[in-house]
Amino acid sequence: MKTKNICDLARTIRSKNAGSFMITFEIIFADRNIYEKVKKSGAITRKAIADAYKLPEGEIHDFMFFDPGMGIKGNIERKSPSGGPGETDVYGCQQYAPLFSLEIPWEE
Amino acid sequence: MRKVSLLVSTGNLGDNIIEKGTFYEGVKRDIDYFGADAGTADAGPTFLGADMPHNPIEWERHDLEITLVESRKKKVPMIVGSASTTGTDRGVNLYADIIRSVAKERKMEPFTMALIYSELSIDMLRERVRRGETEPLGASYPLTDEVLDNTTYVTASMGIEQFTHALEKGADVIIAGRACDDAVLAAYPIFKGFDKGISLHMGKAAECASLVCWPQKVKESIIGTVYDDYFTIEPLHPDQQATPHSVAAHSMYERTNPFVQALPGGILDMHNSKYEALTDRICKVSGSVFVPSPDGSYKVKLEGAGEAGHRVYHFVGIRDTRAIEHLDLILADTRKKVSEIIGPHRDGLYDLYFHTYGKDAIMKENEPVAKTSSHEVAIVIEVVSKDLELATSVAKCAKFRFFYMSYPGQMNSSGGSVALLTDEPLFPKNKCYQWTVDHLVTLKDPLDPEIFRYSFETVSGV
């Protein structure tokens, strides 16, 4: 089956601190039809997100589809709170890149 | 139809300045109050832990001055929360001084300023910990004496009740300590008798000003208007639109769950929120509900930080691709050698971090790419220790061992890495701080005078 990369379908892919102990990330779509098609494809699941990060599924918290905002959301707990010893991403804003690997089954 | 309109121009007062064009466009409109939050924990724990300002004072003054001048001209309230980023007493006093000084310079007619302090005495907090009144929020551990021993400053984030109390007492200008950003903006409509859920969701949507609109712009003004059973968001920048999508999407920003927002005394439930286009630029939202906590409890978030030690950096770079091939081995060997030379008995007295740019510096354990394909890498050596001399020795030792590293297939005899900048480590001006407190405290009274302290004064420039 043909696939499309998430970057060719989404409008925004980003991450950010949600408080000092959690990093939240989201994939936001601009087009309702594309969002619904991605959602129905079943390709984006908590497991798929965990796989992209090579993390156990249990480490992805509050995975959800947020229909009003046409967004897909998940969270990862920080290993240590933001900005302390050893920090390299104080805003948590560069933790989304693994999501670029998501491929969605796609027939035009 | 009954309504109350807010002009909000910044999601972070004083951190870069408000754009004047759309601010003065907004001032021409029918505005009932001005509001802004100045707080963020995003800047890291240093500013709270060291109780120091995050922003240049001239930026803080710029935003406070233009807002104060216009709010006094219109004789409408101005409400500012989380003064000076962290909302400590120092922050409230700094903003209060700026307000007094602007009033004097501008020869303003008398007005009432309320200061709401929310910095906590750590000894008083110890008592509450002993009485079992605290519980973890973001932190995974309970609050203990040991945690508080490592904490220098703690604030409590106020909700609606602390602001409405000041409004009831006749405040024209409110300068508050640490506050929930939605409460800063929602308090006035709630004080005026509007629905709590609708007002809070308006506050949540408007808390970052123009960031709730598309295309994205910062520090541009927007208007949030609360009606009886809905609210609207309207941008003042002609290129921006508040659409059902942009407003809904903003509720995902920096939050783990876009359907629910907790605040003292309950939650804002957005499961049934309905986002509609009133025009192509104005979004209307209805259906949001405030749900009081089922057990009637009133819990306030505590935020605290403390010193972790001195922080010393060194930087090295590697261009040798045969070394990069064996990077993991080199990093492990260096760490081992440092421990050996500094003395294994001192292992517990410092933390040594290698931030390997080109490999996994940004994502660390979460980096899914196992092997670097880069032909050069940089290693930031970070050492944290209570003992500055020890931290310095460890940083120097690690740098030295990278210079004399050995690995299979090595072609060089020494100089396996380059020192960047200088052979001397770098010493940041500030020590290393860390978040220590991210907990809830249960209050019997939202106006608990040990937690929230008020000061009212008449400010006059005439």
A53 touches chain B (CB under 8 A): yes
- Domain span holding position A92: 3-105
In a domain, B143, yes or no: yes
Question: pLDDT at position B421, please?
Answer: 63
Task: Assess whether B136 and B283 both reside in one domain.
Answer: yes
Do residues B211 and B218 touch, judged by C-beta distance below 8 A? yes
First to last CA, chain A: 11
CA distance B24 to B19: 9
In chain A, what residues touch B46 (CB-CB under 8 Å)?
83
Q: What is the DSSP letter of B107?
A: T
Contact: B248, A68; criterion CB under 8 Å: yes
pTM, two decimals, is 0.95
Q: What is the pLDDT of residue B418?
A: 76
Mark whether B267 and B136 lie in a shared domain: yes
- Chain A closest-CA separation from residue B79 CA (Å): 23
% of chain A with per-residue pLDDT over 70: 100
Show residues of chain A in contact with B364, CB under 8 Å.
79, 88
- At B388 the pLDDT is 98
Enumerate residues 6+ apart whose C-beta is below 8 A from B343.
none
Residue B206: enclosing H or E segment and its boundaries? helix B196-206
Backbone angles phi, psi at B213, to 5 degrees: -110, 165
Query: B368 and A84: CB-CB below 8 Å?
Result: no
B111 within some domain: yes
Contacts of residue B259 in chain A, CB cutoff 8 Å? Answer: 66
Closest by Cβ to B138, choosing from A21, A30, A98: A21
Whether B295 maps to a domain, the answer reads yes
pLDDT band at A108 (very low <50, low <70, confident <90, very high): confident
Domains held by chain A: number = 1
Q: Which residues of B359-382 are buried (b: 16+ CB within 10 A; e: fewer)?
A: bbbbbbebbeeeebeeeebbbbbb
Instruction: Tell me: do B160 and B271 sit in the same domain.
Output: yes
Cα of A26 vs its chain's centroid, Å: 5
Task: Name the residue in chain A with its Cα closest to that of B255.
Answer: A18
Rounded Cα gap, residues B365 and B392, in angstroms: 26
- To which residue do tokens 């910990």 refer? B129
| Closest CA in chain B for residue A90 | B44
How confident is the model over A33-41, as a mean pLDDT?
Answer: 97
SS3 category, B273: coil
- At a CB cut-off of 8 Å and minimum separation 6, what does B428 contact? B311, B313
| Inter-chain CB proximity B252 and A73 less than 8 Å | yes
Query: Could you tell me if residue B340 is inside a domain?
Result: yes
- B270 found inside a domain: yes
CB contact under 8 A, B435 and A66: no
A19 touches chain B (CB under 8 A): yes
Residues 6+ apart with CB under 8 A from B50: B152, B307, B430, B431, B433
Cα–Cα separations (whole angstroms), residue B304 to B121, B147, B153: 11, 10, 6
Q: How many CB pairs under 8 A join A and B?
A: 136
Instruction: Give B211's contacts (C-beta < 8 A, 6+ positions apart).
Output: B11, B217, B218, B250, B253
Do B232 and B92 lie in one domain? The reply is: yes
**Residues written for chain B:** 462
Q: Give the best residue of B252, B254, B313, B349 to mutate against chain A (max A CB count within 10 A).
A: B252
Distance separating alpha carbons of residues B1 and B17, to the nearest angstrom: 35
- Interface probe with B: pick from A14, A34, A63, A82, most Cβ of B within 10 Å: A82
Give the three-state DSSP class for B298.
strand
Query: Is position B48 within any domain?
Result: yes
Task: Quote the minimal CA–CA distance from B419 to chain A in Å.
Answer: 20
In chain B, the residue whose alpha carbon lies closest to the alpha carbon of A79 is B365
- Cβ-based burial of B193 (10 A; exposed 0-12, middle 13-18, buried ≥19): exposed
Place of tokens 């439930």: B269
Picking from A24, A83, A88, the nearest residue to B364 by CB comes out as A88
Interface of A with B in 55-84 (CB under 8 A): 55, 61-62, 64, 66, 68-71, 73, 75-77, 79-84
d(CA B200, CA B206): 10
What are the φ/ψ torsions at residue B412 (nearest 5 degrees)?
-85, 165
Of A24, A55, A101, the CB nearest to B254: A24
What pLDDT score does A107 carry?
86
- Residue B230 falls in which region: left (phi positive, over 0), alpha (psi -120 to 50) or beta: beta
Residue of B nearest to A69 (CA): B249
Our CA-based measurement puts residue B436 at a distance from the nearest CA of chain A, in whole angstroms, of 8
B444: domain range?
A: 4-303+437-459
First to last CA, chain B: 38
Residues of B in contact with A24 (CB under 8 A): 252, 254-256
CA dist B249 and B246 (Å) reads 5
Render A90-107 in DSSP notation, one character per residue.
Answer: TT-TT--GGGGG-EEE--
Q: Cβ(B242)–Cβ(B213) under 8 Å?
A: yes
pLDDT of residue B416: 72
Q: How far apart are CA B229 and CA B199, in angstroms?
A: 9
Task: Based on the fold, state whether residues B222 and B278 are members of the same structural domain.
Answer: yes
Residues B368 and A39: their CA atoms lie apart, in Å, by 24
Contacts of B140 in chain A (CB under 8 A): 21, 77
- Among candidates B41, B138, B245 on the partner chain, residue whose Cβ is nearest the Cβ of A70: B245
Asked if residue A75 has pLDDT above 90, the reply is yes
Calpha distance B303→B147 (Å, rounded): 12
Torsion of CA B289, B295, B296, B301, to 10 degrees: -80
Q: Do B171 and B239 share a domain, yes or no?
A: yes
Give the pLDDT score at A52.
96
A57: closest CA of chain B, how far (Å): 13
Mean pLDDT by groups of 10 residues along chain B of 462 residues: 96 95 98 97 94 96 98 98 98 98 98 98 98 96 97 98 98 98 98 98 97 95 98 98 96 92 97 97 98 97 98 94 94 97 97 97 93 94 98 96 90 76 85 97 98 98 93
Residue of chain B whose Cα is closest to the Cα of A74: B256
Tell if the CB–CB gap between B254 and A95 is shorter than 8 Å. no
With vertex at residue B197, the alpha carbon angle to CA B195 and CA B201, rounded to the nearest 5 degrees, is 120
- Rounded to a whole number, what is the distance in Å from the CA of B194 to chain A's nearest CA? 24
What ipTM is given for this predicted complex? Answer: 0.93
What is the distance between the alpha carbons of residues B319 and A22, in angstroms, rounded to a whole number?
35
Total structural domains in chain B? 2
Best of A12, A87, A93 to disrupt the B interface (most B CBs within 10 Å) is A87
Tell which residue, B11, B18, B60, B4, has the closest CA to residue B186. Answer: B4
